[in-house]
């Protein structure tokens, strides 16, 4: 694994602008303090039952504010809004978080040494116990790759306060924790389709679809090439930058390689640079 502790700050969506902006501000503060941290910009579109202040994908709004208002580099924002989800909900956001954490930390391949990851969903400060519960369950699958994820949550409300102020949330929590519920089984229904937190092929498929919007370098190519940790990190930073800024200059490439070397001690071999150059050639710019 690349040297340095990996820290992920996920920003799930809220359809109320004031609440969502507060979440972004909290995430920006964490990202500024820790240069080793990555943002996960989740959220596509509001479900039919809700209306959103944002007409497009909410995760794109998130990355725009992080970049333009708070100066967070585009290469540090993982574009979870590119996942193939027609609408956003807390359960699917947790799945996307786990897929991206698994990809960056280990390439979704089992390691001999344990990889320790810190995941900080800023949503937990606003959304309560459900975010913590779902992300814990989604990241549980990553133990199969020897990735240990510590969840850092700061719930504003105790369970007693939650029960008093938001009784409907307590009902949701009870359903999740019931025998045969999502926490026990990892399985839920998504628009009539059965999904699970514990299916690697689903993680790979959803990642592949997100990659496709930026590069022709497919997930199957990555399995074939067996990207090293350093190569995968550079690819991910390139993917982040192109997805979030829609451009890539020679200066951008230099900054990305410098960032990877300075903060992650990423050492790229000659063969690795050939792979990176192939990836750059295949980028859709």
Quote the distance between the C-alpha of residue 196 and its chain's center. 17
pTM, rounded to two decimals? 0.92
For 200, other C-beta atoms within 10 Å of its C-beta total 13
- pLDDT averaged over every residue in the chain: 87
Q: Lowest-confidence range among 171-180, 247-256, 265-274?
A: 265-274
Condensed to tens digits (0 to 9), the pLDDT of residues 93-144 reads 999 999 999 999 999 999 999 999 999 998 766 556 888 899 999 999 999 9
pLDDT at 1: 47
Every domain of the chain and the residues it spans: 6-198, 205-282
Distance CA 71, CA 65 (A): 9
Taking alpha carbons only, the member of 23, 5, 27 closest to residue 14 is 23
Going from the C-alpha of 26 to that of each of 19, 143, 152, 159, 239, the distances in angstroms are: 11, 28, 14, 23, 24
Residues 222/104, Cβ–Cβ less than 8 Å: no
Taking alpha carbons only, the member of 27, 10, 6, 30 closest to residue 107 is 6
pLDDT at 127: 58
Taking alpha carbons only, the member of 3, 54, 11 closest to residue 29 is 11
Q: Is the CATH number of domain 6-198 3.40.50?
A: yes
pLDDT, mean of residues 5-16: 90
pLDDT, mean of residues 169-197: 92
pLDDT at 50: 86
């Amino acid at each position: 694994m690349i040297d340095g502790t990996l820290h992920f700050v996920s920003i799930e969506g809220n359809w109320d602008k004031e609440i969502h902006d507060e979440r972004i501000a909290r995430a920006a503060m964490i990202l500024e303090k820790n240069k080793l941290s990555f943002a996960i910009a989740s959220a596509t579109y509001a479900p039919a039952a809700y209306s959103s202040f944002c007409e497009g994908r909410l995760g794109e709004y998130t990355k725009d504010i992080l970049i333009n208002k708070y100066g967070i580099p585009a290469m540090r924002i993982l574009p979870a809004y590119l996942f193939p989800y027609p609408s956003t909900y807390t359960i699917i956001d947790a799945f996307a978080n786990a897929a991206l954490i698994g990809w960056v930390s280990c390439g979704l391949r089992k390691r001999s040494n344990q990889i320790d990851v810190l995941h900080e969903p800023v949503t937990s400060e606003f959304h309560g116990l459900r975010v913590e519960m779902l992300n814990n369950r989604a990241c549980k699958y990553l133990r199969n790759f020897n990735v240990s994820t510590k969840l850092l949550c700061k719930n504003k409300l105790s369970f007693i306060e939650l029960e008093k102020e938001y009784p409907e949330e307590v009902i949701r929590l009870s359903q999740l924790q019931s025998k045969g519920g999502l926490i026990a089984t990892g399985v839920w229904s998504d628009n009539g389709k059965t999904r699970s937190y514990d299916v690697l092929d689903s993680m790979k498929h959803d990642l592949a679809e997100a990659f496709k919007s930026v590069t022709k370098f497919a997930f199957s190519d990555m399995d074939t090439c067996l990207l090293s940790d350093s190569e995968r990190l550079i690819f991910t930073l390139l993917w982040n930058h192109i997805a979030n800024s829609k451009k890539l200059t020679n200066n951008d490439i230099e900054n990305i390689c410098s960032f990877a070397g300075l903060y992650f001690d990423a050492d790229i071999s000659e063969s690795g640079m050939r792979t990176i150059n192939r990836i750059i050639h295949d980028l859709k710019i």
